[in-house]
Chains A and B, each alone.
Chain A
Amino acid sequence: MSQSPATDIDPITFAVIKSALDAIVDEMAFSVISTARSEIVKDVMDFSTCICGADGQMLAQAKTIALHLGAVPVAMSHVLQRYGDDLTPGDVIVLNDPYEGGMHLPDLFMFKPIFLGDALEGFAVAICHHTDVGGRVPGSNASDSTEIYQEGLRLPAVKLYERGEQNDMLFRIIEKNVRVPDIVRGDIEAQFAACRVGEREFLKLLQRYGREVSHGYLAALLDYAERLTREQIAKWPDGTYRFTDYIDDDGFSDEPIPIAVAITVHGDGLTVDYEDSSPQVTGALNSTLSYTQSCTYLSVRCVLQADIPNNAGVFRAIDVRAPEGSILNPRLPAACAARALTGYRVVDAMFGALAKIVPDRVPAAGEGGNTVVCIGGYRTDNAPFIIVDMLCGAWGGRFDRDGVDAVTNPSQNMSNTPVEVLEAEHPVRIESYELLPDSCGAGEFRGGLGIAREYRLLASEAGLQLRADRMRFRPYGLSGGSSARAARNLMRPAGTSDVEILASKVTRRIAHGDVIRHEQPGGGGFGDPFERDPQRVLQDVLDEKITPEFAAREHGVVVDVMAGCVDIAATAALREQRRGAPQS
């Protein structure tokens, strides 16, 4: 039944090389964290590191932003296209253009070709989300841009270093075009440090096992990942499985934006087609095909069982199609800055379809993607500040357990910015950072609770951008579980107690003392809420994660809060009565 990874491969060396690659990419990631300057990189950890082979295939990725992995192959192919026969030791190439291998402009890819003697052996790769890359708004991340030209400095694949010499001209151009040049430069240097570390360690690995032998094992690692992927897909029933989820709007019209997927299982491979998805949109929600592919690979990867190496072999079993000119494969000059949101909805749609194939491995919908809060302006001494904060959400309920409260979307692996760091670095005060009771979708296994964060501006004025969603189309439940509560953007102008409800995508000015509050949705529920163990409902009530009203309404459980127990008779009666009643 089981067999060795390949016939002429020593299983022991194979395992050792796999561990060594994992250690190298993790060491690269730690180098980024150690040397980066911005909160978005060092605290939120919006970056990733990997090693690619000489042909550009990704061999290993660190435990960082998962969604970057699938975008690397396309970026690599643009680098090879441009510089394939013009790479020398000491070169470093960067790019951020979504139309030439990038994702959105703030994500700068860096590639360092690795040479052993004269032979190209691979690439050390580091991707960081930069605090600012210029353009019309601080943070370069507006969802209401309509052309890529508004979004900031656009770099095709260019050499930042050539034969070890720094390209001063390029550095100067970058520094002139961004609002916080010191921070951006520091983060670019952090990427460089990671690439140097990756190069050094990958070379040691090659030297230890020899070029020829290493090549054999690296190829075998990719084959191994492909084989494990195909073995599992082969067990799935053939057929086509569809699901459609929606983005509320693009900020320009109220039109919902459908993300429609059809997964076709044929033997040990998948075709994933997004044909019925929205055409490209006016706002900046357009996702390049590379990012769409990345989201697709990731969704499949999440439901595979085995400990599959995190490399490009997984991609080979999956064919992704999206019509040109659609939101998932836009044409120039469509704006892309907020494409992450679209990616999240791709993952939600993929999970919805995958739930029909492997229902016990797919959670109900999570929050639907982190919300981006950008607040930028100038202090009294005219020094610029830019806050780029990411608010993460919740996981939906699962086949056999509750979702997770306050957690990164599984397609990323983000952290949060500490309140005290934000306040120490920027003219802002955080008035609260908390779980949102009742935000979960009810189910036999409830969804996780979302979170809220409240910002009070202490500078005289600033530009605010908010990219949120899931206000109309709430995170779905599965197997009878309920949808979670919707997201909200709120504002309390200075000196008032009036609360103003804002749209899902916001670009506006705010003034000293204004308070902005964002509430994330929770996760959807899994299974019939009336099947939930009343004792678990009780614990949630006692922890004030849900209110007694929610317990009665959603779960049919009557809790006596003072006594700290479930009213068993009342619960039985209520559940009986509600089960008999028609669904409202």
Chain B
Amino acid sequence: MGLAREGDDGAATAVAGDGVRVGIDIGGTFTDIVAARPDGRLHVAKVSSTTRSPDRAVVEGLADLLNQNGISSQDVVEIVHGSTVASNTILQKTGARTGLITTRGFRDVLEIARIRTPEMFDLTWSKPEPLVPRRLRLEVDERIAADGGIVRPLVRDSVISSVERLIEAGMDSLAIVFINSHANPAHEKAAEELVRQRWPELAVSASWRVLPEIKEYERTSTTVVNAYLQPVMRTYLERLQSGLREIGIEAPLLMIASNGGVSSARATAERPVFAVGSGPAAGVAGAARLGVACGYRDLIAFDMGGTTAKAALVDDGQLTLTTEYEFREGISTSSRFIKAGGYMLKVPAIDIAEVGAGGGSIAHVDAGGLLHVGPRSAGAVPGPVCYGLGGDEPTVTDASVAIGYLNPNHLAGGSLKIDRDMALDAISSRIAEPLGIDTIDAAHGIRAVANANMARALRAVSVERGRDPRDFALMVFGGSAALHGVELARMLAIGTVIVPNLPGVFTAVGMLTSDIEHHLVRPFSSPLRTLASDVGKAELDRLRDDALMVLREEGYGPGTATVAISCDLRYRKQALELTVPLAGDGFDDAALDRLRRDFKAAYAQRFGYTPEHEEPDVVNLRAIGVGHRTGRLDFAGTSVEAPSAADHARFRPVSFVRGEPPIDTPVCDRDDIDVIDIPGPLIVETYESTIVVPPGASIRRDDYSNLLITP
């Protein structure tokens, strides 16, 4: 089928039009499918994921959904999907048997890594196993200098003999990383060519294609992850595409990349390392798009699941991107300078802070009397104590049941039984007694500690980036987020909490709202003032033209294509740059002055000073080319048929504030909420989520069926 065609530039090929568009979110537990008709009607299916071959759930679920709603498969014009297949492959160590050839003297760069440890004072820590063991890392004779000059020519025989040895050892995917190839890729290209000629079937990832950037460990790690994923991803996408063909769908298959953009299946099969964060990225990207559609351009997207909570900042409708992150087993802390314990990926990704606090996070009291929540999770099995499935350690969900936030008898429209007494018993014996406090107080305590952890993720993407959370609305989605949204908003003095429609399948819906976006980066290291020179202007023009050209190839031109330019700036020799947008079209001195001023202001806001008289350096120029599609989902015009929540009591006692008596609180349906503010206390129960509006807060519906809470 040739997914990995040579010379593919990673551009997404998509059709704008009037057909049915499908968004699919493949999660660990559920696969969510949303089909959008041109008239705005949405059809939703939630099916169990088929972990071993994720394509099966997609194909069967989609076939059923189309059937049930009388949609012909020929009417499907596009499929956008997000998947955790790449991240799960790393987590479960099920990738290819990967080999590495590198410059003589540098066999161990991958394993030496960056030397640091993730925690201090912990003498039990061990390094994660490198994805390529030492026996599959071999050296070849060649050397490029830092300035790109050739110190030692490539010895072709050393390439051939190394690869032969690796193939004998069972390698089925090869990474090629030579020192200083970012300065001159000639040797890598030659080695790659040699290998492809001789072993045309072998999967090859060369660092000059994957990440042509300085710093050998980061480049090696990223290239190795790419090689590790490549055969798996290729197989997965080929199967998915042929499965879709079998049910008559010829529409292009797109995938959400870690940066929230979409990319063709072909490009993803070639460079899967760009899709490792596909799962969570899709939700955040969806939140950004919904925000723009509804007039909330400044958001903190907050996604709370069973094990972790994730936060990401959306700034004036734009996703906040990072250029490197570590993929870890377990949890990414919000400390961004650890560099240990994970697999370093230096690829553009949405800057998502993730903490180990979710509905299933387990609470315990340590020997010193300190209450901890997470990062251990009860997961789906055995799950929270209140599910009665064998869990005996109290979780955040148990705490929410205990204080009355969650229905004491059942969830999910009655399909999931809840036993509040079991939750109370567990909290009493394991938390309240050791702390010497009341059980309900302890339940509040569990939630408060979880909230503090989750607030850390919110802080990491706002305060720690120098952004004031008060300037943002909090959009909450995922299983438990609406149980915590108001409290989190209050902790950070956020003024609005948005609960989108269908939070349970929100991520899949969000994919359909996308414009086509292309992020282009061009290194340009020189002092800022040179941007106004002919060289600088030519460089900026070329970047803009490149962006327009990619869009033109996809059918976006005058009126539907726009390009926004920004610059990564920093002071000399610094490690971190700030991205500052270039306002207007001109690159004249006035525009540069504005850019310089904006950078200094951003720098001063964040670090409390600016170096006087120092001219910033440009590191990269960035362009975001957007193709505005006519057929994309507009939240204003959608309508959904969803099952209503099972019958619930009209009132139940809820303990909102620790130490105060419970309040008899009305419980209503989502449909009961109107465009006029209703004051709390109030609980809104739907099939898939519970929304808590405490006293002092109020809730209303907006024109797009979002619920808005004023905390």
Contacts from A to B (Cβ < 8 Å): 1-5, 11-12, 14-16, 18-20, 23, 26-27, 29-31, 33-38, 42-43, 45, 63, 66, 182-183, 186, 189, 192-193, 196-197, 199-201, 224, 227-228, 231, 298, 301-304, 306-308, 310, 361-363, 392, 395, 398, 401-402, 404-408, 410, 413-416, 418-421, 423-424, 429-435, 451, 454, 542-545
Q: List 9 A-B contacts (CB under 8 A).
A: A30-B337, A45-B116, A199-B608, A227-B368, A405-B111, A410-B120, A433-B108, A433-B109, A434-B108
Closest to B612 in A: A166
Is B190 positioned at the interface, with any CB of A under 8 Å from its CB?
Answer: no
Residues of B within 8 A of A66 (CB): 120-121
Closest to A419 in B: B216
Instruction: Give B555-579 interface residues, CB cut-off 8 Å to A.
Output: 571-576
Q: Quick check: B370 and A5 within 8 Å, CB to CB?
A: yes
Taken together as a complex, chains A and B put the C-alpha atoms of A544 and B169 apart, in Å, by 14
Is B464 positioned at the interface, with any CB of A under 8 Å from its CB?
Answer: yes
Closest CB-CB distance, A181 to chain B, in whole Å? 13
Q: Quick check: B444 and A406 within 8 Å, CB to CB?
A: no
**Other CB < 8 Å A-B pairs besides A34-B576, A420-B216, 12 of them?**
A15-B449, A26-B335, A26-B337, A35-B576, A63-B335, A183-B573, A231-B368, A405-B127, A413-B120, A414-B115, A420-B214, A430-B105
Instruction: Select one of A38, A193, A298, A404 contacting B127, CB under 8 A.
Output: A404
Residues of A within 8 A of B416 (CB): none
Taken together as a complex, chains A and B put the C-alpha atoms of A137 and B583 apart, in Å, by 49
- Report the 5 A-B pairs with minimum CB-CB distance, sorted nearest first: A196-B608, A432-B105, A423-B146, A193-B607, A34-B576
Q: Quick check: A224 and B368 within 8 Å, CB to CB?
A: yes
Q: Quick check: B337 and A29 within 8 Å, CB to CB?
A: yes
Q: Quick check: B112 and A3 within 8 Å, CB to CB?
A: no
Closest CB-CB distance, A138 to chain B, in whole Å? 18
Closest CB-CB distance, A31 to chain B, in whole Å? 6
Closest CB-CB distance, A12 to chain B, in whole Å? 4
Taken together as a complex, chains A and B put the C-alpha atoms of A15 and B112 apart, in Å, by 36
Q: Quick check: A420 and B179 within 8 Å, CB to CB?
A: yes
**Given A4-B435, A415-B115 in contact, is the A34-B120 Cβ separation under 8 Å?**
no
Taken together as a complex, chains A and B put the C-alpha atoms of A29 and B607 apart, in Å, by 12
**Given A413-B120, A414-B116 in contact, is the A193-B214 Cβ separation under 8 Å?**
no
Q: Quick check: B574 and A35 within 8 Å, CB to CB?
A: yes
Q: Quick check: A36 and B574 within 8 Å, CB to CB?
A: yes
Residues of A within 8 A of B121 (CB): 66, 298, 301-302, 304, 310, 410
Q: Quick check: A12 and B448 within 8 Å, CB to CB?
A: yes
Closest CB-CB distance, B212 to chain A, in whole Å? 12
> Which candidate, B310-318, B452-460, B494-502, is the interface stretch facing chain A?
B452-460
**Given A362-B123, A392-B115, A414-B116 in contact, is the A306-B368 Cβ separation under 8 Å?**
yes
Is B182 positioned at the interface, with any CB of A under 8 Å from its CB?
Answer: yes
Closest CB-CB distance, A436 to chain B, in whole Å? 9
Residues of A within 8 A of B609 (CB): 189, 192-193, 196
Is B327 positioned at the interface, with any CB of A under 8 Å from its CB?
Answer: no
Q: Quick check: A42 and B574 within 8 Å, CB to CB?
A: yes
Interface of B is mostly: loop
Is B119 positioned at the interface, with any CB of A under 8 Å from its CB?
Answer: yes
**Given A30-B337, A224-B368, A310-B120 in contact, is the A189-B611 Cβ separation under 8 Å?**
yes
**Given A16-B452, A37-B574 in contact, is the A415-B116 Cβ separation under 8 Å?**
yes
Q: Quick check: A406 and B111 within 8 Å, CB to CB?
A: yes
Taken together as a complex, chains A and B put the C-alpha atoms of A240 and B16 apart, in Å, by 79
Q: Quick check: B576 and A432 within 8 Å, CB to CB?
A: no
Residues of A within 8 A of B658 (CB): 12
Is B69 positioned at the interface, with any CB of A under 8 Å from its CB?
Answer: no
Taken together as a complex, chains A and B put the C-alpha atoms of A197 and B466 apart, in Å, by 9
Residues of A within 8 A of B573 (CB): 37-38, 42, 183, 186
Instruction: Select one of B134, B339, B367, B436 contacting A415, CB under 8 A.
Output: B339
Residues of A within 8 A of B215 (CB): 418, 420-421
Closest to A187 in B: B573
Closest CB-CB distance, B607 to chain A, in whole Å? 4
Is B199 positioned at the interface, with any CB of A under 8 Å from its CB?
Answer: no
Closest CB-CB distance, A126 to chain B, in whole Å? 12
Taken together as a complex, chains A and B put the C-alpha atoms of A66 and B434 apart, in Å, by 32
Q: Mark B108-149, 1 if CB is under 8 A from A, else 0.
A: 110111111111111111110000011100000000011000
Q: Quick check: B112 and A433 within 8 Å, CB to CB?
A: yes
Residues of A within 8 A of B444 (CB): 12
Q: Quick check: B116 and A408 within 8 Å, CB to CB?
A: yes
Q: Quick check: B134 and A544 within 8 Å, CB to CB?
A: yes
Q: Quick check: A15 and B371 within 8 Å, CB to CB?
A: yes
Q: Quick check: B179 and A197 within 8 Å, CB to CB?
A: no
Q: Quick check: B115 and A406 within 8 Å, CB to CB?
A: yes
Is B334 positioned at the interface, with any CB of A under 8 Å from its CB?
Answer: yes
Residues of B within 8 A of A432 (CB): 104-106
Taken together as a complex, chains A and B put the C-alpha atoms of A208 and B572 apart, in Å, by 37
Closest CB-CB distance, B448 to chain A, in whole Å? 4
Residues of A within 8 A of B214 (CB): 418, 420-421, 424
Instruction: Select one of A36, A42, A398, A421 contacting B123, CB under 8 A.
Output: A398
Q: Mark B604-627, 1 if CB is under 8 A from A, else 0.
A: 001111010000000000000000
Taken together as a complex, chains A and B put the C-alpha atoms of A229 and B459 apart, in Å, by 31
Taken together as a complex, chains A and B put the C-alpha atoms of A35 and B610 apart, in Å, by 10
Q: Quick check: A407 and B115 within 8 Å, CB to CB?
A: yes
Taken together as a complex, chains A and B put the C-alpha atoms of A392 and B339 apart, in Å, by 15
Is B366 positioned at the interface, with any CB of A under 8 Å from its CB?
Answer: yes
Q: Quick check: B180 and A33 within 8 Å, CB to CB?
A: no
Residues of B within 8 A of A431 (CB): 105
Closest to B215 in A: A418
Taken together as a complex, chains A and B put the C-alpha atoms of A228 and B179 apart, in Å, by 48
Residues of A within 8 A of B41 (CB): none
Is B369 positioned at the interface, with any CB of A under 8 Å from its CB?
Answer: yes
Closest to A351 in B: B123
Taken together as a complex, chains A and B put the C-alpha atoms of A362 and B105 apart, in Å, by 33
Residues of A within 8 A of B179 (CB): 419-420
Closest to B214 in A: A420
Taken together as a complex, chains A and B put the C-alpha atoms of A544 and B165 apart, in Å, by 15
Closest to B578 in A: A34
Closest to B112 in A: A406
Q: Quick check: B456 and A19 within 8 Å, CB to CB?
A: yes
Taken together as a complex, chains A and B put the C-alpha atoms of A402 and B366 apart, in Å, by 28
**Given A11-B445, A433-B112 in contact, is the A419-B106 Cβ separation under 8 Å?**
yes
Q: Quick check: A15 and B111 within 8 Å, CB to CB?
A: no
Q: Quick check: A415 and B335 within 8 Å, CB to CB?
A: no
Is B437 positioned at the interface, with any CB of A under 8 Å from its CB?
Answer: yes
Taken together as a complex, chains A and B put the C-alpha atoms of A124 and B263 apart, in Å, by 46
Residues of A within 8 A of B135 (CB): 542-544
Closest CB-CB distance, A260 to chain B, in whole Å? 23
Q: Quick check: B112 and A63 within 8 Å, CB to CB?
A: no
Taken together as a complex, chains A and B put the C-alpha atoms of A263 and B417 apart, in Å, by 58
Residues of B within 8 A of A196 (CB): 607-609
Residues of B within 8 A of A406 (CB): 108, 111-113, 115
Taken together as a complex, chains A and B put the C-alpha atoms of A200 and B606 apart, in Å, by 10
Taken together as a complex, chains A and B put the C-alpha atoms of A395 and B117 apart, in Å, by 12
Instruction: Select one of A16, A197, A434 contacting B608, CB under 8 A.
Output: A197
Taken together as a complex, chains A and B put the C-alpha atoms of A183 and B456 apart, in Å, by 33
Instruction: Select one of A4, A33, A227, A451 contacting B337, CB under 8 A.
Output: A33
Residues of A within 8 A of B123 (CB): 302-303, 361-363, 395, 398, 410
Residues of B within 8 A of A16 (CB): 448-449, 452
Taken together as a complex, chains A and B put the C-alpha atoms of A54 and B464 apart, in Å, by 24
Is B150 positioned at the interface, with any CB of A under 8 Å from its CB?
Answer: no
Closest CB-CB distance, B573 to chain A, in whole Å? 4
Closest CB-CB distance, B16 to chain A, in whole Å? 40
Is B338 positioned at the interface, with any CB of A under 8 Å from its CB?
Answer: yes
Q: Mark B324-364, 1 if CB is under 8 A from A, else 0.
A: 00000000001111110000000000000000000000000
Residues of B within 8 A of A2 (CB): 365-369, 434
**Given A4-B369, A193-B607, A306-B367 in contact, is the A19-B452 Cβ separation under 8 Å?**
yes
Taken together as a complex, chains A and B put the C-alpha atoms of A460 and B148 apart, in Å, by 21
Closest to A456 in B: B151
Closest CB-CB distance, B180 to chain A, in whole Å? 6
